[in-house]
Amino acid sequence: MRPRQRREAFIIECGANYKEHFAWLQPCGNAFPHPLRLVSSADVPAIAIDECWEGMKRIFGENIWNNEAASAISLEIDGSLSREGYRAASDGAGGIRVSGADASGVIYGVFALLRELACGRCFYGANVESSPKVPLRIINHWDRTDGTIERGYAGDSLFFKDGGVSFDVARIVEYARLLASIGINAIVVNNVNVNGNDIRLISKEMIPEVAKLADIFRVYGIRLALSVHFESPVMLDCLPSADPLDENAISWWKRKCEEIYRFIPDFAGFLVKVDSEFRGGPQALGRSQAEGANMLARALQPFGGIVWWRCFIYNNLQDWRDSSIDRPKAPYELFKPQDGLFDSNVMLQVKNGPSDFQVREPNSPLLGAMKHTKECLELQITQEYTGHQIDLYSLASQWEEVFAFPSGSGRALSDLMGDEIASIAGVANVGLDDNWTGHTLAQANLYAFGRLAWNPRLSAKDVTEEWVKLTFGLDKKVNEALPDMILRSRKVYEKYNSPLGLGWMVNVAHHYGPSPEGYEFTKWGTYHRASCKAIGIDRTAKGTGFTRQYSAEIARMLEDARTCPEELLLYFHRLPYSFELKSGETLLQHIYDAHFEGVEDVEAMIELWRRLEKHIPKTAFASVSKRLEMQLENAKEWRDVINTYFFRMTGIPDKRRRKIYP
Ligand code: GCW
């Protein structure tokens, strides 16, 4: 018998058939172990019970539950486990006990058990225990209240429409459970570029509307946060100034927080972008970043709120003629001297790379450099520079490298996670499209974000294999071939988009497709400075000095073109086209080869995908096939434009005499 009635809003139809919007929570019909009862202690949240009930039916069918059964799944709280942690283990009597440290822990424990069972791991041997390495695991939406999404490639916003909060309850519930199933515990629902009507999301009129979203997410242990405009006091209430030392501005934010917490008692806090890309901020008012951030932090502090203060600050009105300014240096130069000045509920939010979510970048030297200030690592799940969810691109493969990147004293970034870096944020790749992510296989990136945020030491291979099994079932052929195709896709895209860490050869307007000099003479600070002889920026001590921002051992490695990781060569060095790579090829020949190979690799991917036709649900097969064809066109465009560009620039032909357009 069911332990309690499910509320209407939580009923998700679990048909026997694959549906794209179930994502990785598909019905699967795995081998039935034996009937079970479901028992739980009184402090277990109703949603954990519901998810366990529905989830087991999804995996094993309706008959899994039988009130008379001898064995049980029992859910309980066990305060001895670490925060948000869980244990799911055999109880020795044919059943399983799921213990969670707290309400969230039981929810995560249930989803972990379901994941194990759906992946075909043995029911009787189930034994998983885990707790998150990083306490705050956040999704950042770049959604606007008009319903559009900045850098969104999967339809309109799930949350907003026509200037206000507007959503389909069932869809948000589905989204919340998908996020909870991968361990997400906070969500920022609006864009960091807070413009126009978006500024009003914290107005008296709109807070109660936003609170309706918070109410849904809360059930799944997810706290809601908002991006705010630093000048809100001026823009919303006509105060003369937003100066963080001005008493009026200070008390405005205090009152605003009181107002927000009346409607959203567990409000997570504010995400703030200032002093960059046409945003005002403390710097524009002659104040420091710390003064700006602390004003907001002190207003949130009595309620347990946090300020995520973005470090993506640089001069976006640079003169391309001036080679003394080097954009990647800006965040460290600005923030490092202010280490220790930020309140304890401020998290400095740093993008993984010092440039901007390029296919290949070193890690930002600011990550781990702030010894007395908390940081948040920002990753981008939406594929802005990585193929717009048209081209297949495994971000798990990229993030695995980000986490492995050396961070001084023999430590990798993953070693700092949860310690110096107390939170992790991912820019969402979802929208109203039926399959959430436009490209069905891009669901794997959202899945991987959650899993790696929980445990940054998991391998890209493991989480990708998991996603494939959960999404497309235990078909051997698919399980063998698809993870590999997904995992290799990052390298494939890199070959035709950005070999040797070059980056920025994209169309300026939208960042898809090639434009070798698109950014070259702009004000954005993103140049490769290709001439007929050499290419790349010298960022060594002899050049812009950017390498000096890293610890001595890392700087030494990057300084020398012979020890610098080859895939980052042109990020740190300016080199002649004749420079010889480890393969023995010249730099120019490598660029030609990579672009030809990129197209061949996409053709091979298409071939492989075709061979899976009978094993993949029709809807997913058709939509992915269509995108792969578009990707092939894109890869060819990149190959021909970039190779022609360098051939015209250098006059040196491809030594393998392949077609280049003179
Ligand atoms: O480079 C830029 C992106 C913007 C984004 C910005 C940021 C939300 O192209 O679309 O704005 O980064 O991260 O603030």
What would the pLDDT profile of 565-604 be if each residue is shown by its tens digit? 999 999 999 999 999 999 999 999 999 999 999 999 999 9
In a domain, 550, yes or no: no
Judged by phi (left if over 0) then psi (alpha if -120 to 50, else beta), residue 657 lies in: left
State whether 519 and 377 are in the same domain. no
Host H or E run for residue 480: helix 476-497
pLDDT at 661: 93
How many helices (H) and strands (E) the chain has is answered by 17, 17
Mean pLDDT rounded to a whole number for the chain = 95
Q: Is residue 121 very low, low, confident or very high in pLDDT (cuts 50, 70, 90)?
A: confident
- Ligand 1 atom nearest residue 150's Cα: 10
Pocket-testing residue among 149, 157, 190, 193, ligand 1, by greatest number of atoms within 8 A of Cβ: 193
Q: Which of 411, 435, 458 is the last residue of a domain?
A: 458
Q: Does 356 share its domain with 501?
A: no
Distance in Å, CA 429 to ligand 1 centroid: 14
Structure tokens at 359: 């296919």
The parent domain of residue 209 ranges over 136-458
**Domain end residue (candidates: 437, 458, 479):** 458
Grade residue 12 by pLDDT with cuts at 50, 70 and 90.
very low
412 plus 515 within the same structural domain: no
Percent of the chain residues topping a pLDDT of 90: 93
DSSP 365: T
- Do 233 and 355 lie in one domain? The reply is yes
Query: Each residue of 292-329: b (16+ CB within 10 Å) or e?
Result: bbbbbbbbbbebebbbbbbbbbbeeebebeeeeebbbb
Kindly state whether residue 114 falls inside one of the protein's structural domains. Answer: yes
Residue-wise pLDDT for 212-238, tens only, equals 999 999 999 999 999 999 999 999 999
Question: Distance between CA 431 and CA 438 in Å, rounded?
Answer: 8
Which atom of ligand 1 has the smallest separation from the CA of 357? 1
Residues 108 and 149 reside in one and the same domain: no
| Mutate-to-test residue for ligand 1 from 364, 384, 385, highest number of ligand atoms within 8 A of CB | 384
Residue nearest to atom 11 of ligand 1 (CA): 193
pLDDT number for residue 443: 98
Same domain, 49 and 151: no
Are 638 and 499 members of one domain?
yes
| Centroid of ligand 1 to alpha carbon of 192 (angstroms) | 8
67 contacts 1 by C-beta, under 8 angstroms: yes
Ligand 1, residues 149, 274, 356: which to mutate, most atoms within 8 A of Cβ? 356
CB atoms within 10 A of CB 508: 13
Mean per-residue pLDDT, 49-72: 96
Does residue 14 carry a pLDDT above 60? no
Based on the fold, state whether residues 392 and 246 are members of the same structural domain. yes
- Active-site residues, by number, are 277, 356, 384
Q: What SS3 state is found at 375?
A: strand
- Say whether both 13 and 146 belong to one domain: no
- Positive or negative: CA dihedral 411, 413, 417, 421: positive
Side-chain half-sphere exposure of 117, counting CA atoms within 13 A? 31
Residue type, 453: A
| pLDDT(282) > 50 | yes
- 1-15, 23-37, 432-446, 618-632: least confident range: 1-15
Which CATH number does the domain housing residue 68 bear? 3.30.379.10
Q: What's the 323 CA to ligand 1 centre distance in angstroms?
A: 23
Contact 186, 225 (CB under 8 A): yes
Query: Of ligand 1's atoms, which has the minimum distance to the CA of residue 191?
Result: 8
Q: Record the tokens describing residue 554, joined without a space.
A: 């890392």
| Domain presence at residue 579 | yes
pLDDT of residue 492: 98
Can you give the pLDDT at residue 574? 98
Whole-number Å distance, alpha carbon 383 to ligand 1 midpoint, is 12
Ligand 1 residue neighbourhood (C-beta within 6 Å) = 142, 150-151, 191-193, 273, 312, 356, 384
pLDDT > 50? residue 7: no
Alpha carbon 594 to its chain centroid, in Å, reads: 27
Number of domains in the chain: 3
Do 140 and 427 touch, CB atoms closer than 8 A? yes
4 pLDDT exceeds 70?
Answer: no
Residues 126, 265, single domain; the answer is no
Of 458, 491, 521, which residue is a domain's last? Answer: 458
Kindly report the backbone phi and psi dihedral angles of residue 591, in degrees, each rounded to the nearest multiple of 5, phi listed first: -65, -45
**Is the pLDDT assigned to residue 136 strictly greater than 80?**
yes
The continuous run of DSSP H or E covering 492 comes out as helix 476-497
Ligand 1 atom closest to the CA of 380, numbered from 1: 13
Retrieve residue 496's tokens.
């035709």
Chain centroid to Cα 427, Å, comes to 5
Q: What is the distance between the alpha carbons of residues 533 and 540, in angstroms, rounded to a whole number?
A: 19
- Banded pLDDT at 15 (limits 50, 70, 90): very low
173 Cα–ligand 1 center, Å: 28
Report DSSP letters for 78-115, one per residue.
Answer: -TTS-TT-EEEEE-SSS-EEEEESSHHHHHHHHHHHHH
Per-residue model confidence (pLDDT) at position 123: 78
My answer on whether 184 and 228 are in the same domain is yes
Instruction: Please tell me the predicted confidence (pLDDT) of residue 409.
Output: 82
Give residue 218's identity as a one-letter amino acid code: R
- What is d(CA 36, CA 44) in angstroms, rounded to the nearest whole number? 18
Burial class (CB in 10 A: 0-12, 13-18, 19+), 90: middle
Shortest-distance Cα residue to atom 13 of ligand 1: 312
**Burial of 166: CB neighbours in 10 Å, binned 0-12, 13-18, 19+:** middle
Say how many Å lie between the CA of residue 563 and the centre of ligand 1. Answer: 32
pLDDT tens profile 343-360? 999 999 999 999 999 999
Tokens standing for residue 206: 């709109």
134 has a pLDDT exceeding 70? yes
Query: Do 443 and 471 sit in the same domain of this protein?
Result: no
Which of ligand 1's atoms lies nearest the C-alpha of 356? 1
**pLDDT greater than 50 at residue 512:** yes
Which residue has its alpha carbon closest to ligand 1 atom 1?
356
For the segment 337-396, what is each residue's pLDDT rounded down to a tens digit? 999 999 999 999 999 999 999 999 999 999 999 999 999 999 999 999 999 999 999 999
Cα(390) to ligand 1 centroid in Å equals: 19
Q: CA angle, corner 467, sides to 463 and 471, nearest 5?
A: 175
554 within domain boundaries:
no
Taken as a whole, the chain contains a residue count of 662
